[in-house]
Structures are given as structure tokens and as C-alpha cells.
Structure 1
Amino acid sequence: GNAHTVYNGSFFYHQLQKPQIVKYELSTMRSQHLLVPHAFINETNYLYLTEYNYMDFSADDNGLWVIYGLPGSNNTAVMKIDSYSLEIQYALNISVKHNKAGEMFIVCGVLYVVESTTDRRSNIR
């Protein structure tokens, strides 16, 4: 699989065919679920050009982030969640066309977009 992460002792992933994420605590083997607001899971709303993922995770010094596409506008949603409680801390609607990006990641609270993951030369913006 791809587009998952291990953070603070838990495995985070997008549940297949559902607009929710799962937190699986590795030490206790318990799981929690979070319904992701405004997530639309179907073949018209893939997150990246590769058309494999609907959601992606990123972790930085600020915490855990979920990146996903918003239907209709093709904008990108960036949601920060508390990794322990799964509470949504805040979410942003960013004017970046998610279906035109090769990959996205967050460092120091800033979203970076990789234009292509297949071209030998690509840009990060």
C-alpha cells in the first residue's frame, strides 16, 4: 500500500472505499475511525495524477496532516488532526488542483506540491 504513515506509535491509513481514516495503535492493537469532512471517494476524485489514492498523510514538527481532494472545484483540503484523539484541529481549502499534482507533502506547516513523480526532472512548488 501507499499513502499511509506511522506516527506516535500508531499506523494511520485511509479505509478502502470510505471517506474515513483509521488509526491503529500498534502497542494495544486498538483502532479508531475518523470520518473526513467533504471527502468524496470515487474514480473521479483521485488525489494525484497517478490515480491510486484519495487521501495522503504527512507528519512534521507541527503534527499529523491529512491531504485530500475536494470534489467539484478540484481544490486540495489540508486537515490537521490530533494524533491521539483523532480530533480535527482545523482544515484548509487550498487552491491547488490536486488532480494535476504528482505528490504533496507538508514540512513546517507548509504544503509542497511535486509536479511529477515520473518525470526525471520535476518542480516542487
Structure 2
Amino acid sequence: METEYGTSYPYGSWGMDPKPAPGKEGWYWLVALTRSNIYTNYIRTYSSHSALIVSKNAGDVTITASNPTTNSLIGPGSVMYDNALYYNCYNYPKVCRFDMTTKSIHSVELPGAGYNDKFPYCHLTSCYTYTDIDLSTDESGLWVVYASEANFGNVVLSRLNASITLNITQTWNTSLFKKAISNTFMACGVLYATRYVDKDIEEIFYALDTTTGMERGNLSIRFRKVSGIVQYLNYNPRDHLLYVYNDAYILTYQAVFG
């Protein structure tokens, strides 16, 4: 389905909190990049799936007073986890944590991370703007995907401590060139990467097992899209769904692991 914004804002993110606050187990959140398809300064929430579908009972939570400014949200790589939104801080190689209750913001720098379109996701000859820093969730918590010059533009994966004392707890350097992939997500401690096949098909082709450190590039798990570009892809361990933002359409896919 399209978001309530129609096709006006093709870049964004959405989902359910894998670790929701009490009373918000059925809530959904939506972030549409309303300024140049790059920035935003608020989060829209819905009290139920039916409210999301009919675009009613929505509430907006403001992150920053203006857009863009320090601590505004940049890019479509945000996630909600434990009643806080995690996202790429405007104009910095940092992850920001916005507490939905206290409205406080904390951040952590990603050492050497490319940002502001240095290492975005891409396909063929086209890149997806400001997708340098991408947050993910899975059964073990919160992760961030980025790339660095030190790792030759290849994907770097870091596990984050999802709390007010936001910090990096572990990092993996991969051999996967970030500009050669269209998106990533985490599930069960495994990093998966996708690539663009054509305007109708996306393919999960790569996996990194963080337990063993082994990389595989021979997966071939294909899924259909409703439009050409997948701007956002994230797995929710609570309902085992992949949440997708696909050119202003919001979709879910059931994830089944053998």
C-alpha cells in the first residue's frame, strides 16, 4: 500500500518496534523524508494496523525544531527499538538515538564511516541518495551497516549497545563492496545483502554469519517488488516480517528460515 503521503515522498522507513513500550505493542511508526527526499525532523505513529491503513489516529513526534539542523534525520536507514528511534544524524558519520518519551538525543560516532553520499547503496549506474548509514534490528538487538575508506569502500557491520549510553560493542569488516548492493538487513545474527535484478525483482545474494565470520555470495533468494527501488529493508524479530519501503509503497514479507 502507499503511505498517506501518496507518491510525494519515495524515500523513508517504517515498521513496528521489536521491543515496544508497554501498551504500544500494536503501534506502527513511519518516517517519510519530507525535505528533498533526504531529511526529516519528525516521526509519524499509528495506534494500530487499521489506523495505518486508513491514515487515522496518527500522531507526530518532533525530533528537531527545524529541518535540517543538528540531530535532524538524514537518509532512509532508521529503525525503532525499545521506544527509541535510531538514525543517521544530519551531516555527521554518527548514529543518533531519539527517546520517544523524554525526547532526549544521544549519539555515537562511527569511526571512518562514509556519509553524505560517499558510500550509498547502488544498482547498475544509479545510487540511492544518502543511504550510507543503515540501521538494522534482529533477535540480538541493534546493528549498523556502513562503509569506510579503511575497508576500501566495503561494508562494515557494527553491533550497537541500544541504550542511552549508546556505543559500539563489536565490528566486522567484510569483502562486500557497498556500492555493489541495493540494501541489507540482519536476522538471527546474519547480515544479508540484496541486489537489484530488474524493476520487478530484488535478490538476496550475500550473507555474513557474525558467529563464524564466514561470508557467502552465492545465495539466490528472489522476491517481487511493486516498484523499482527498495529504499529501506529491515527485519523485525517479533513478528518475523521484513518491512520494506519501496518507492513510497510500504510492504511486508514473511521471512522463513530453514
TM-score (norm 1): 0.91
Change in Cα spacing, 1:90 to 1:117, as seen in structure 2 (3 Å) is farther
The counterpart of 1:90, out of the listed 170, 174, 182, is 170
Is it true that 1:51 corresponds to 2:99 in the alignment? no
> 1:57-72, aligned counterparts within 5 Å?
57-71=135-149
Q: Distance in 2 between matches of 1:47 and 1:109?
A: 23
Correspondence for 1:79 among 141, 158, 161? 158
Percent of residue pairs identical: 23
Distance 1:42 1:87, change over 3 A: closer
Q: Is the 8 A contact 1:6 1:12 kept in 2?
A: yes
Contact 2:185–2:193 (Cα < 8 Å) also in 1? yes
Instruction: Give, in whole Å, the separation in 2 of the partners of 1:89 and 1:62.
Output: 12
Post-superposition, which runs of at least 4 consecutive aligned residues in structure 1 deviate over 4 A? Answer: none
Aligned length: 124
Alignment of 1:121 with 2:236, yes or no, is no
Correspondence for 2:109: 35
Q: Is the contact made by 1:102 and 1:117 (CA closer than 8 Å) also made in structure 2?
A: no
Contact 2:89 2:96 in 1 (8 A): yes
Deviations 1:69-109 (A, max 9, x none): 12261210000001012121101111111101011111111
Give the Cα separation in 2 of the matches to 1:118 and 1:18: 33
Following the alignment from structure 1 to structure 2, what is the Cα–Cα distance between the partners of residues 117 and 99?
Answer: 15
Q: Secondary structure at the match of 2:96?
A: strand
Please, which runs of 5 or more residues in structure 1 have no aligned partner? none
Q: Is the 8 A contact 2:119 2:153 kept in 1?
A: no
Question: Structure 1 CA distance, aligned partners of 2:197 and 2:89?
Answer: 24
Counterparts of 1:83 and 1:92, CA distance in 2 = 18
Specify the structure having the higher radius of gyration (Cα): 2
* RMSD of equivalent CA atoms: 1.6
Alignment partner, residue 91 of structure 2? 17
Structure-2 separation of matches of 1:82 and 1:23: 11
Q: Which of 78, 81, 84 does residue 7 from structure 1 map onto?
A: 81
Deviation of 1:117 after TM superposition, in Å, equals 7.5
Secondary structure at the aligned position of 1:124 is classed as strand
Alignment CA distance shift 1:67-1:117 (3 Å): farther
Provide the TM-score with structure 2 as the length reference.
0.46
